[in-house]
C-alpha cells in the first residue's frame, strides 16, 4: 500500500509500505490488554515501610513474661512500640507482579494501533530531515502547521540528531527512538509521526514477526 509522505514545505508524495503493519485487522481487545499491562508496570510503587522481621535489633524479651504487672510483650520490634515495625504498611515494588508482554502480543498490538491511527488520519510521514532545526519555536510552528501539537514523533538516529533538541520543551510532544517504541505512548498522543527512514526501520524490525504471528494464528 501507499502512504502520503510530506515535506516540511507541505509538498506531498507517496511512500510504499507493507500492508501487514498499516492495514491489519484492529484488535481492540488486545490493545486494551496491552494498555492495562503497560499502565500497571509504569505505576510508581516506591513507598515501603519496614515490617517487624526487617527491624535490626535484639530479639530478646524486654522483661519477664510474668511478675512485673505489665502486659506480656516479646521484643521491641513489635508494631505497637516506637521504632518497631509497621503493620500492614506499603511493601514497595517487590510485592507487585510485573506483567510481561510477549513478543507476539507486542507486534500484533503495534500493527493494530498504527492501523487505527492511519484509519483516523492521525498518522503523518515526513521526509527525512536534511536540515537541522535548533529553535523550539520553529519546530512548534512546523507541528502547528500540520495540526500535530499533540503527538509522538518516532525518529531515526540521523533525524534525531538534527531536530531532537528543538523538540525537548514542547508540551504534549514526545520524541522517541524507533528502536524503543512504547505502545502506551502511541495511544496516549493523538498524532503519530514518522520519518521516511524510521518507518522503513519499523518495517524491518516488525514485519517478519507480524507475518509469522498471522501464519500461526
118 with 211, same domain: the answer is: yes
What was the pLDDT predicted at 180?
Answer: 82
Residue 189 in this model has a pLDDT that exceeds 90: yes
Least Cα distance to 184 among 66, 87, 76, 40 occurs for 40
Q: Which residue has the cell 504487672?
A: 69
Q: Give me the mean pLDDT over the 113-120 stretch.
A: 90
pLDDT digits (tens, 9 = 90+) for 119-177: 999 999 998 887 888 899 999 999 999 999 999 999 888 888 888 888 888 999 999 88
Residue 21 in this model has a pLDDT that exceeds 90: no
Helix (H) or strand (E) holding 165: none
**Count of domains forming the chain:** 2
Q: What is the CATH number of the domain that holds 26?
A: 3.40.1370.10
What was the pLDDT predicted at 212?
Answer: 54
Residue 208 in this model has a pLDDT that exceeds 60: no
Answer with the residue of higher pLDDT: 115 or 22. 115
31 with 68, same domain: the answer is: no
39 with 146, same domain: the answer is: yes
What was the pLDDT predicted at 215?
Answer: 55
Percent of the chain at pLDDT > 90 equals 24
pLDDT digits (tens, 9 = 90+) for 59-69: 889 889 999 89
Among 27-31, 41-45, 116-120, name the one with the lowest average pLDDT.
Answer: 41-45
pLDDT digits (tens, 9 = 90+) for 75-98: 999 999 999 999 988 888 777 777
21 with 103, same domain: the answer is: yes
Q: What does R_g of the chain's alpha carbons equal in angstroms?
A: 27
**In Å, what is the CA distance from 42 to each residue of 37, 109, 116?**
9, 18, 24
Give me the domain span that covers residue 83.
49-89
104 with 138, same domain: the answer is: yes
Q: Give me the mean pLDDT over the 43-64 stretch.
A: 86
Q: Is the pTM of this model over 0.85?
A: no
154 with 76, same domain: the answer is: no
Q: Give me the mean pLDDT over the 21-49 stretch.
A: 84
What was the pLDDT predicted at 122?
Answer: 92
CA 150, 160, 15: angle at the middle one, nearest 5? 75
Amino acid at each position: 500500500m501507499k502512504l502520503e509522505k510530506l515535506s516540511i514545505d507541505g509538498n506531498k508524495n507517496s511512500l510504499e509500505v507493507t500492508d501487514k503493519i498499516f492495514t491489519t485487522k484492529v484488535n481492540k481487545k488486545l490493545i486494551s490488554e496491552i494498555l492495562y499491562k503497560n499502565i500497571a508496570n509504569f505505576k510508581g510503587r516506591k513507598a515501603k515501610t519496614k515490617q517487624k522481621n526487617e527491624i535490626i535489633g535484639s530479639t530478646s524479651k524486654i522483661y519477664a513474661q510474668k511478675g512485673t504487672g505489665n502486659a506480656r510483650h516479646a521484643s521491641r520490634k513489635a508494631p505497637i512500640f516506637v521504632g518497631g515495625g509497621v503493620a500492614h504498611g506499603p511493601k514497595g515494588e517487590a510485592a507487585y507482579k510485573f506483567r510481561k508482554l510477549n513478543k507476539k502480543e507486542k507486534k500484533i498490538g503495534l500493527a493494530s494501533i498504527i492501523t487505527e491511527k492511519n484509519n483516523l488520519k492521525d498518522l503523518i510521514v515526513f521526509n527525512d530531515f536534511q536540515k537541522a532545526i535548533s529553535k523550539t519555536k520553529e519546530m512548534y510552528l512546523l507541528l502547528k502547521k500540520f495540526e500535530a501539537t499533540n503527538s509522538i514523533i518516532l525518529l531515526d538516529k540521523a533525524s534525531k540528531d538534527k531536530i531532537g533538541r528543538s523538540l525537548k520543551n514542547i508540551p504534549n510532544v514526545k520524541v522517541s527512538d524507533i528502536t524503543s517504541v512504547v505502545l502506551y505512548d502511541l495511544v496516549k498522543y493523538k498524532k503519530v509521526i514518522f520519518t521516511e527512514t524510521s518507518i522503513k526501520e519499523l518495517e524491518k524490525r516488525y514485519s517478519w514477526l507480524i507475518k509469522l504471528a498471522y501464519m500461526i494464528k
